[in-house]
Amino acid sequence: MGRREAVREQAFCSPGFFASELSEARERAGLSQGELARLIPCDRSLISRIEAAERVPQEDFVHACDKLLGTGGMLLRVWQKVPWHREVEHPDWFRRFAEMEARATVLRQYEIAWIPGLLQTPTYARALLAQGDAAGDEDLIDERVAARLGRQARFLEADSAPFLVVILDEAVLHRAVGGPVVMADQLRHLLRLAQRPNIVLQVAPYGIGERAPFGASFTLLRLPEGPEWQYAESLSRGAFSNNPRQVGERSRAYDRLRAEVLSAPESSRLILRIMEGLLNMSPKVDLSAARWFKSSYSGSDGGQCIEAAYDFVDAGVVPVRDSKDPGGPVLGFSTDTWQAFVSAVKSGSLPAL
C-alpha cells in the first residue's frame, strides 16, 4: 500500500465513516432503519444512533448487517480498522498490562472467576461490564466492550497470532453470566476457539480438589525481548513481576497443573455437555405484552407462516410461534440462531423442501 493510500485509509477508518457506509448500504438495499432492525433483530433506535456515530456497534451486529445488506464483508473490514478501543480510558496498571499483552508471543492464563477477556463474546462481556461504575451508562458500556473485543483481534490472525493457553476452573463454566442463553453462546464460542491452532483450552475439573496449586487468577506473558512476566489483579490494582525466581516457580507450577487437568479434547467434551444443559433451560419471559411480527409477504388468510416477537432481544431470546395458532406453543431461539435463520431465508441459501 502506497503512502497516499495509507493516509486515505486512515482518514476513512473513523466512526463517522463506518456510520456513513452502513447508512448507504442500508439505503442501497432498500431497507428503512425499522425494517433492518426487525431482520437483525434489534431496536430501531440502535441503528439510528449507530448511523449517527453515537453508539459503538458490536461485532455480531456488523456481521448481521454484512449478510442482510449483501456487502460481502465490507462493513466488518471497516469496523475492524476503526480504533474504537483507543477512546477508552484504562487505569494505569491495566493500560500497562494491555500494552504488554499486545506485544506478547505466548500467554498462559489461569482463571477461577470469569471467562478471560480474550475469549469473551460481546454479550458475555457486556453482561460483566454493565456492572459497577458503568451501570446504566450505555455509551460507556459500549466503549468498554469494544475495547475488550479490540484486544482479541491479534489472537485471531491467520498467520502471526500469539500462542494462548488457558486453564479454566470448572466453576467458571457453570457461572451463567448474562443468563443461560448468553452463557450457552459463550460456551459455543469457546468450542470454536479451541479449534484454532494457536489456542489451547483446558478445564481444571472439580475433582482436582487440593491438587490445584493456585487460589487466584493470573497470567504469564512471554515478550519478544526476553523476560517472562507474571500478572495478577485485584479489585483495585494490578501486580506485575519479572523476578526470575518468582516467575520460574509460577511457570513450573502451571506446567504441573496442565498435567493434572483435563486434556484439550476432554475439556471440549465437558464444555459441550454444560452448554447442552443450558440450551435445555427455557428462558422465562412474560409474553402477555409481546408485539408479534410476521413477514410482509404473508397473506391475510394466515398461510404457512410463523411470527416472532422482538421485545426480548436484550434477554438474548426471540420467541416464535405459528401464526395460525397464536394461542399454541411458543419456541424460544437465541438471537444469534434466529439471526442466522433470517439471513439464510433472505439470501435463499436454505434447501428447498
State the DSSP string of 14-46: SHHHHHHHHHHHHHHTT--HHHHHHHTTS-HHH
What is the β-pairing status of strands 306-309 and 106-111? unpaired
Q: Is the pTM of this model over 0.75?
A: no
CATH class (in words) of the domain with range 86-279 = alpha beta
Q: What's the alpha-carbon Rg for the chain, to the nearest Å? A: 22
* Number of other CB atoms surrounding residue 256 within 10 Å: 11
Q: Which of 212, 206, 218, 210 is nearest to 256 (CA)?
A: 212
The domain made up of 3-82 is a member of CATH 1.10.260.40: yes
The residues spanned by each domain of the chain are 3-82, 86-279, 292-347
Taking only the tens of pLDDT, the chain with its 353 residues reads 343 334 344 445 677 788 888 999 999 999 999 999 999 988 888 888 888 877 778 788 898 899 999 999 889 888 877 765 444 444 566 778 888 888 899 999 999 999 999 999 999 999 999 887 778 888 888 888 888 888 888 888 767 889 999 999 999 999 999 988 889 889 999 999 999 999 999 999 999 888 877 788 889 999 887 778 888 876 567 788 888 888 999 999 999 999 999 999 999 999 999 988 876 654 556 677 778 877 666 655 545 678 888 776 655 677 788 877 777 777 767 666 677 777 777 776 665 54
